[in-house]
Amino acid sequence: MPLLIVIALMALPFLEIWLMILVGQQIGVAWTIALLFALSAAGVLVLRSAGTKTFREADQAMRTGKRPEGGLLDTLMLMVGGILLLTPGFVTAALGAVMALPFTRPALRWAFTGWAERRIKRMRDAAEAEFVAQGGRIPPQPGQPGERGPGGGRIVQGRIVEDE
């Protein structure tokens, strides 16, 4: 997979230049350059608004002593989207717009969260397998059969009913 990413990153400049030539043939060189400048200006505006939003949320969190309400992932997507819009090219601009638009970020957030959870689970399973292979013992997790309480006794699920 990393090799595929490297090959894609190496091919990206060639794809961008080819697309610029095609667009230049269709709408003209001057309009193509103007469009690339407009996309870069949009990237600057997105980065500026993301930075201002982040600073405002951090300032409010420090004043009130509460956690920032905005998601870190949204801010990260805005910043990456702004950087991609700032980079000259139509493919990077399209990817940047997808990351920067407010109605596409929830889908990206959902996809990234699912990917991250699967990745963390695979890493945890691999670490536990390595630990067990070296002779370690993993205690049962809450909710699994054989679960034991703090005193070593078996946990019985129930509820407390107070008499009045």
Answer for the pair 91, 15: CB distance below 8 angstroms, yes or no: yes
Phi, psi for residue 145 in degrees, rounded to 5: -60, 145
Domain map of the chain by residue range? Answer: 8-102
Could you give the CA distance from residue 73 to residue 110 in angstroms, rounded to a whole number?
11
Answer for the pair 20, 90: CB distance below 8 angstroms, yes or no: yes
- With CA atoms as reference, report the closest residue to 90 among 37, 45, 49: 37
* Per-residue pLDDT at 105: 87
* Per-residue pLDDT at 140: 64
Residue by residue, pLDDT tens for the chain (164 residues) are 789 999 999 999 999 999 999 999 999 999 999 999 999 999 999 999 888 888 888 787 778 877 766 677 888 888 899 999 999 999 999 999 999 898 998 899 899 889 989 999 999 888 888 888 887 777 666 655 555 545 556 666 778 888 87
Burial 94-111 (b: 16+ CB within 10 A, else e): ebbbebbeeeebeebeee
Stated pTM of the model? 0.68
Q: In Å, how far are 15, 22, 36, 99, 109 from 39, measured between CA atoms?
A: 17, 17, 5, 14, 24
Answer for the pair 75, 50: CB distance below 8 angstroms, yes or no: yes
